Structure 1
Amino acid sequence: MIGEIKIKRTTSRTIVWGVAGLVAVAVVVWMIVGSGTGGVEVEVVRTRRGPIREFVEERGMTRLPETHEITMPISGRVERIALREGTPVQKGQVVAKLVDLDIQLPVQQAQAAVDRLEAAIKRNADTTVETTALAQAQKFVESMQATVDAAKARVEAGEAQFNYAEANFGRVQKLYQSNVQTQDDLDRAYLQKVQAAVSYRQDRLVYASLVALQAATDLMPQLIRQYIDRKLLTQAELEKQRAEANVQLLAARENQRRAVMTSPVDGVVLKRFVDDEQFLAAGTPLLEIGNLDELEIEADILSLEVTRIQPGDPVEIFLGSTYGRPVARGKVERIYPAAFTKISSLGVEEQRVKVIVALEPEEIRRLRAEYQLGVGFRVRVRVVTDEKQEAIVLPRSSVVRSADGEAYVFAVENGRLVRRNVTLGLRNDELVEVVEGVAEGEWVLRSPDLTAEAGTKVRVVELEY
């Protein structure tokens, strides 16, 4: 019985001491966690009033609004080009030229053709011989007409004489038969008749010949006039050929002028495509020239973000070696009206819009001097779309989004966490503006995690930002 009592006393003491230990542990935990001097240690930041900017940041590339490509004006041999990339050139400076001999020969040939045709035109225009011949032919026609008229009169006279001789022979023959005329009278009358007939036939033959000759003679002035007319046609053809030759001469001289290629602007040689002398076809590029004082930046902005950008918005420019501080400032010059599809590095199709950033000339010269900035250089641009100088701001990591999209923060009040719904304004990658929900100077958690709960007792460690 006594042994049993001892066992029970020992068990009761163990329970009492166990309870006392638990109470002690609870007191220690309360002192560490729940007392005013304890709590969960958290990192907090203090809301402050200051400037904030909202911006769109994207990669960009330097470019020139206009470059000038020097190409072969015609097919031919180009002389060796001494200019190299980066060589400064002045407007009007000779930068390339074709071989002189190849250009001079066509000009000389075209000039010779023009000279030959002008000489032919001059010779063809001289109708002195033809005019004289025409006058002589006309006089010959007149003379021939008079000769024909005389021959005709002679024929008429011969006919009358033949008729008379024939009639006389008839009378003498009758008288001879009547023994009034002698045989001698009859023979003489017959002889006169024969002579008159022969003379009459000769006159008719001469007249017919002269008429035929007159017909040929009458053609002479016409032939001469036709020859003159043909010369006039030849003259017109020669003048047409001369006009064509003059056009060829002008083309040859124009090619001679274009064979000497000059820079259209003050600038530098961006690219040299050809160096040694060689034969090239028309249109082959030789040089690319641009004015580096006109450098601008082209950035492809997501179409969802470009809606916040306006021409004239300020822009900060960063280089890879100076990321964190801008090396120059510019402004949005223009926004392209049409978007285009671009595949991202992750293989995602994106709709982007080209935005052009303009720089001041002195900024361009400084960038060229300090960073050797040229065409096609990669940069980053930060387009400031809005900004405020007096706003309540806190780190972006302090803001949490609920499942329904509501923004809130964990503030610290009397050593405990308090959930505050907030209304946000401007925001960027680092800061957000709080329009409503917290006041200036309040503590909020720097980066709340999933274990943060309202009402939790905390000890704060304030961080700067």
Structure 2
Amino acid sequence: MTLGYNRLRGSSALALAGLLAACSSAPDSTPAVEVLSAAPLRLALEAEGELKSAKATPLLVPGEQWSRRQLVWMKPDGSRVKAGEVVARFAADQGELELSKALLDLQRNALAKASKQVELETMQGRVDVDLAQVATDLSIATRYADADLEMFARNEILDAIQDQRFLGTKQDVLQWKRGQATERGRAELAVLDSQRASFDLNANRRRADLDALELTAPNDGVLVLSTDWSNEKPKLGASLFAGHEFATLPDPAELEIELVLPQLEAQGIEVGQAVELHPAGRPDELLRTELHWVASAPQQRGGRGNPVKSIAMKAKVPAELARERGWVPGQAFFGRIILREAESALSLPNVAVVAENGRRFVDVLDGESVKRREVKLGVRGPGRSEVIEGVEAGEAVLLVPQAPGDRT
């Protein structure tokens, strides 16, 4: 048994040594190449987008500007609505609180005005009492002052004359004080009336704000919910601000599809290029049209946290075709932008191209040696590019360019 086991182990060792020897043999050094040949060429970019209306009626969140709203009900996105139909309802807890504050300010103003009127009437009453007392004392003093000098002692006459002058001056002061109190009271009441007008205006604004909690459609159309800065559509329970766009009612007579591509992929996009479009999930409903608008500058999409900038482009859609196929604004579409179409052209993979100082090079297999050659490219696609000069049909181009030290 031991001898058999040793023989088996020896056979296994020989087999393993053979495998290792086979693995250690030099690999095939033939590089991967592509032999160029003239063939039909079609370079295209894939993009996603949605059907929109070139003209759309914006539907704004109702209420006073910047007042907060909470969405409590809305019709589904893409619903067909009639003119005057309610499309969304809102709640405004903050608005109710602001109205309560405005009504409280009105009550405080009314109490302040009533208190001021009582204070003014009390002050005027006190001055009137003092004036009446002074008038009585002044009449008595006047009587003594005009009496026969022989009937009274000299000191009594002098006191009467002195009282007459004092009481006359006091009467003038009291009348001035009464006039001042009246003018000041009127001014203070006018300030309170002005405040009340301001509080009334604020309360009426709050009432009007609370009355505007329903959003209605101004005309017939298809409801398309708008997206916010983070590319999110309104959801139930969301907090919105009055005056912001909630949705749109597109005009079905003028439709277009907006496509979006990352900035790095959108090189070479131009107005007039052909584009093939179809709804998401319906490749059989193909539409071939052309781009009529391309954004002049990239924009950030998908929220503040997305650093990728994109280029938007638009292609018109015949309204009759959209009606016939049941396409509606807001529907997702896929597009294929045709960069270059030719019955016969040379092209090569982008991985085979080396860029150096604004020039393009490829490695060409010439017998057993590799030569680097400068080429001139035409339209560049996502995977292949048209080649105009530098190589000819029948030449073999390395798919993986070699390092300078590896070329012979």
**TM-score, normalisation: structure 1:** 0.47
- Unpaired runs of 5+ in structure 2? 1-36, 226-232, 302-306, 353-359, 365-375, 397-408
**Local SS of the residue matching 2:223:** strand
1:262 maps to 216
1:32 maps to none
CA distance in structure 2 between the partners assigned to 1:302 and 1:208 by the alignment: 102
Aligned equivalent of 1:203, options 141, 144, 157: 157
1:61 maps to 49
Distance 1:110 1:91, change over 3 A: farther
Deviation of 1:225 (Å): 0.4
Distance 1:60 1:313, change over 3 A: same
**Local SS of the residue matching 2:271:** coil
CA distance in structure 2 between the partners assigned to 1:341 and 1:141 by the alignment: 85
Alignment deviations for residues 201-258 of structure 1 (CA, whole Å, 9 cap, x no partner): 3333333334433333222311220121122212321222122212212321331343
Deviation of 1:283 (Å): 3.5
Range with greater deviation from structure 2 (212-221 or 99-108): 99-108
Distance 1:338 1:221, change over 3 A: same
Deviation of 1:379 (Å): 0.7
1:88 maps to 80
Distance 1:361 1:209, change over 3 A: same
Listed as ranges, the matches of 1:166-205 within 5 Å are: 199-205=153-159
Q: Which structure has the larger Rg over C-alpha atoms?
A: 1
Q: Is the 8 A contact 2:142 2:164 kept in 1?
A: no
CA distance in structure 2 between the partners assigned to 1:142 and 1:427 by the alignment: 110
Listed as ranges, the matches of 1:433-452 within 5 Å are: none
CA distance in structure 2 between the partners assigned to 1:202 and 1:290 by the alignment: 98
CA distance in structure 1 between the partners assigned to 2:47 and 2:170 by the alignment: 99
Q: Is the 8 A contact 1:329 1:359 kept in 2?
A: no
1:215 paired with 2:169, answer yes
**Local SS of the residue matching 2:75:** coil
1:315 paired with 2:239, answer no
Distance 1:99 1:351, change over 3 A: closer
Aligned equivalent of 1:113, options 96, 106, 126: 106
**Local SS of the residue matching 2:73:** coil
Deviation of 1:115 (Å): 12
Q: Is the 8 A contact 2:275 2:335 kept in 1?
A: no
Distance 1:359 1:118, change over 3 A: farther
Identical columns (%): 12
1:251 maps to 205
Q: Is the 8 A contact 2:260 2:313 kept in 1?
A: yes
1:337 maps to 296
Aligned equivalent of 1:227, options 159, 162, 181: 181
1:274 maps to 236
Listed as ranges, the matches of 1:362-401 within 5 Å are: 362-367=320-325, 369=326, 375=330, 377-383=332-338, 393-394=343-344
Q: Is the 8 A contact 1:273 1:285 kept in 2?
A: no
CA distance in structure 1 between the partners assigned to 2:122 and 2:266 by the alignment: 91
**Residue identity in the other structure for 2:277:** I
**Residue identity in the other structure for 1:354:** A
CA distance in structure 2 between the partners assigned to 1:380 and 1:129 by the alignment: 85
Structure ranking higher in helix proportion: 1
Alignment deviations for residues 257-306 of structure 1 (CA, whole Å, 9 cap, x no partner): 4323334673225456117xxxx756499995344644522131665864
CA distance in structure 1 between the partners assigned to 2:276 and 2:144 by the alignment: 118
2:89 maps to 97
Aligned equivalent of 1:359, options 311, 317, 322: 317
Q: Is the 8 A contact 2:59 2:249 kept in 1?
A: no
1:237 maps to 191
Q: Is the 8 A contact 1:114 1:246 kept in 2?
A: no
Distance 1:374 1:82, change over 3 A: closer
CA distance in structure 2 between the partners assigned to 1:77 and 1:350 by the alignment: 32
- Unpaired runs of 5+ in structure 1? 1-44, 162-195, 343-348, 408-422, 435-444, 451-465
Distance 1:396 1:258, change over 3 A: same
2:287 maps to 328
CA distance in structure 2 between the partners assigned to 1:397 and 1:285 by the alignment: 54
Q: Is the 8 A contact 2:88 2:214 kept in 1?
A: yes
Distance 1:333 1:301, change over 3 A: farther
1:296 maps to 257
Q: Is the 8 A contact 1:104 1:256 kept in 2?
A: no
Distance 1:404 1:119, change over 3 A: closer
CA distance in structure 1 between the partners assigned to 2:91 and 2:300 by the alignment: 47
